[in-house]
Amino acid sequence: MKKAVLDMSQFDQNKLNELDAFIEQYEGENKKESLIPVLYQAQKIFGYLPHNLQRHIALKLALPSAHVNGVVTFYSYFSEKPVGKNTLSVCMGTACFVKGADKLLDKALGITQSKRNEITEDGQFTIKDVRCIGACGLAPVVTVNDKVYGKVSEKEIDDIIAKHQEETHD
Ligand code: FES
C-alpha cells in the first residue's frame, strides 16, 4: 500500500525537527497517553496546531487523525488558528457565567475590538471563551496565558488588558 505523504513545506524545518525529537522520546510508550504532551509541545513550538501539523502528529504516533483532532478541539487550551501574543480566556462555566462572565467577555472583545477566537489587528491578543477551568471558587475567572485572575470585575478587565499590552509591546 502506498504511504500517505504530507506536504509539510509550510512549516519551519528546525521547528519540525524539534517536535520530532520530542515525539521520539515517547517511542515504545502508549501513544494515546503521549498525545497530550506532544500537542502541548507542538503548540509551544508553533504557536498553534493547524490541520497538517495535527496529521503529522497522528502519523508519528500512529493514531487516527480524527482522534488527534477530537482532542485538539475538546481542550480549549489548544488552538487550530494562529493566536495573539497573549491569549485572554474568559471562563464561561456555570459558576463564572452566573457571576457575569458573559459581560466580561463582551467587554474584553470591545476593548480589543476583536472577534471571539480571532487574533486582534495588532497581534497582541486572542480573546477566547473556555469551559470551566476548575477554579469556580474564584468566579468569575479570566486567564491571560498562564496567569489566573479571580473575582474579576468589569473595571478590572481594562487593567488586565492594559497590563499585558504594556508587557508585550516592543
Ligand atoms: S465555572 Fe469558571 S472556573 Fe469553574
Strand order in the sheet with 147-149: 125-130, 86-91, 142-144, 147-149
- Structure confidence by residue, pLDDT tens digits, 71-105: 999 988 898 988 889 999 999 999 999 999 999 99
Number of C-alpha atoms within 13 angstroms, CB side, residue 132?
12
Find the CATH number of the domain harbouring 160.
3.40.30.10
Q: Do 50 and 94 fall within a single domain? A: no
Domain count, the chain: 2
**Residue 91 alpha carbon, nearest atom of ligand 1:** 2
Cβ of 45 below 6 Å from ligand 1: no
Q: Do 161 and 93 fall within a single domain? A: yes
pLDDT over threshold 70, residue 145: yes
**Residue 133 alpha carbon, nearest atom of ligand 1:** 3
Evaluate whether residue 79 is within a structural domain. Answer: no
Domain that holds residue 23: 13-74
Q: Do 143 and 92 fall within a single domain? A: yes
Query: Of 52, 74, 96, which residue is a domain's last?
Result: 74
pLDDT band (50, 70, 90) for residue 27: confident
Q: Do 105 and 151 fall within a single domain? A: yes
Cβ of 93 below 6 Å from ligand 1: yes
Cβ of 113 below 6 Å from ligand 1: no
Q: Locate cell 515504545: which residue? A: 28
Cβ of 25 below 6 Å from ligand 1: no
